[in-house]
Amino acid sequence: MKKRVLSALLSTAMVMGLLAGCGSSAADAPAADTSAGTEAAATTEAASDEGAAVAAGDEGSVFNIYCWNEEFKSRLTDHYPGYEEVDGTTGKIGDVTVKWNITPSKDNAYQNNLDEHLLTQADAAADDKIDLFLIEADYALKYVDTEYTMSLADLGITDEQLVNQYQYTKDVVTDSNGNLKGASWQGCPGVLIYRRDIAKEVFGTDDPAEVQKKVADWDTYKATAQEVKDAGYYMTSSVNDTYRTYSNNVTSKWVVDGKINIDDNIMKWVEDSKTMYDAGQIANTTELWSDDWSKGFFQDAKVFCYFGPAWFIDFSMAADTEGSVANAGGWAATEGPQGFFWGGTWICGATGTDNPSLVKDIMLKLTTDETIMTDIVKADNDFVNNKPAMAAMAADTNYKSAVLGGQNPLRMFCTGAESVDLSNQGAYDQGCNESFQNAMKNYFDGNATLDESLEIFYSSVEEKYPELSH
């Protein structure tokens, strides 16, 4: 368990929690009620023999799903035909009993638990074998690049069936041999979210197209930061706000031939952030989700922009709270300097499953079926991983985001989703990204020189991955 593992820290837990979901909801809908409400309707209506047909044949009678929260369960309950809920951790699809093994992600408990079970999967009784498990992008390759995850081709899913999914969601779960080994029902492309009032004051306009010109690439972004600063505002709340935007656009992997490799774009983040922080253009160096960071959501703060995906805009910016910028619809979205994504959950089939056809069917229904996915958009406000469905929504002039003052940002998200290039993802990403941001904080704060901070980064990574050197 690395550092994050045993940490019981709020912000870590929050980040993990946040990563887990890529949903957005109408700001006023009490979250818990959404699933509870639709659940009953969905089950009665779906209790057809369709589900039973899938499970027929000589496949296993127990279907084990490993995950870290209730999200996937509510998706399955609400949208998978034939799923019936029995109690909190069991359900039924036809004759097959679905068993949910939910372990919180805090302190790495989820991965620790999953690892132990995957490693003993071969010796486990058929009913105890993991059939399906969920992963997040940061550590996807840790599982995908092993024989413990089934390739979609082996499950009988063809490339044509997946043609409507965004490419980056496939890159995340493609192993080093080019095999696709998972699928997601969500897309989480991100945009730059800025305050309209500050834009008007500083640039004289809050039109997204005009503001985009001010942040079109990192050089103009930096020039703009000085303008914003001169007007008495901060460009971003923390140096870490822009990290994903840089790290999603690297041209090399974190590890090359067993050696730790720092991509130029990552070093650019360090240089840019240091310059901007020292020039007083960035408010602080705290972690995302800390109090100091989220203060910028409110009117009386001086933060010009955040970087985030759809769920972030709709759900994280305190839209339901009096005095927040989101509450007044004071934000607007634009593409920003580079495309990036944030969050998302992927479904994987475990090698050795005794219910391969059910795994296949769940994947197909939830991640490729346009009708079901459109339902997910409508019921759960997710940004789904289906190009035609999202294109239709983007073209819909009735779709307006209240947080963004009536703007329909979906077109930007769609563009963003297309532009993310994750071909340089690797199995070490989660550990390296975390260690890097932590170590660089010392440099930004002036507690250490760049070289000293890099040393801290190296030793931290080598503790996590003893096989690496630098």
Applying the rule CB under 8 A, the residues between 176 and 195 that interact with another protein are none
What angle separates helix 264-278 from helix 429-445, to the nearest 10 degrees? 30
Minimum CB separation of residue 241 from another protein in Å reads 15
Backbone angles phi, psi at 148, to 5 degrees: -80, -10
Binding to another protein (CB under 8 A) within 426-455 occurs at 427, 431, 438, 441-442, 445, 447-448, 452
Q: Which is nearer to another protein, 23 or 81 (CB)?
A: 23
Q: Residues 52, 62, 102, 391: which binds another protein (CB under 8 A)? A: 102
Distances (CA, A) of 77 to 138, 363, 442: 26, 14, 46
Minimum CB separation of residue 395 from another protein in Å reads 25
Whole-number CA gyration radius for the chain = 22
Q: Residues 103, 220, 261, 424: which binds another protein (CB under 8 A)? A: 103
Dist CA 451 CA 240 (whole Å):
19
Minimum CB separation of residue 63 from another protein in Å reads 15
Q: Residues 49, 126, 127, 146: which binds another protein (CB under 8 A)? A: 146
Q: Which is nearer to another protein, 73 or 196 (CB)?
A: 73
How far, rounded to the nearest angstrom, does the alpha carbon of residue 272 sit from its chain's CA centroid?
25
> What does the angle CA 248 – CA 238 – CA 342 come to, to the nearest 5 degrees?
30
Minimum CB separation of residue 402 from another protein in Å reads 14
Of 15, 78, 69, 82, nearest to 380 by C-alpha is 78
Tokens of 406: 């009536």
Minimum CB separation of residue 11 from another protein in Å reads 6
Per DSSP bridges, beta strands 305-309 and 255-256 are unpaired
Dist CA 329 CA 196 (whole Å):
9
Binding flag, residue 292, another protein (CB under 8 A): yes
Q: Residues 43, 108, 174, 407: which binds another protein (CB under 8 A)? A: 108
Binding flag, residue 86, another protein (CB under 8 A): no
Dist CA 120 CA 122 (whole Å):
6
Binding flag, residue 272, another protein (CB under 8 A): no
> Among all chains, which residue has been given the structure tokens 């995908």?
144
Binding flag, residue 302, another protein (CB under 8 A): no
Q: Which is nearer to another protein, 133 or 203 (CB)?
A: 133
Binding flag, residue 13, another protein (CB under 8 A): yes
Binding flag, residue 244, another protein (CB under 8 A): no
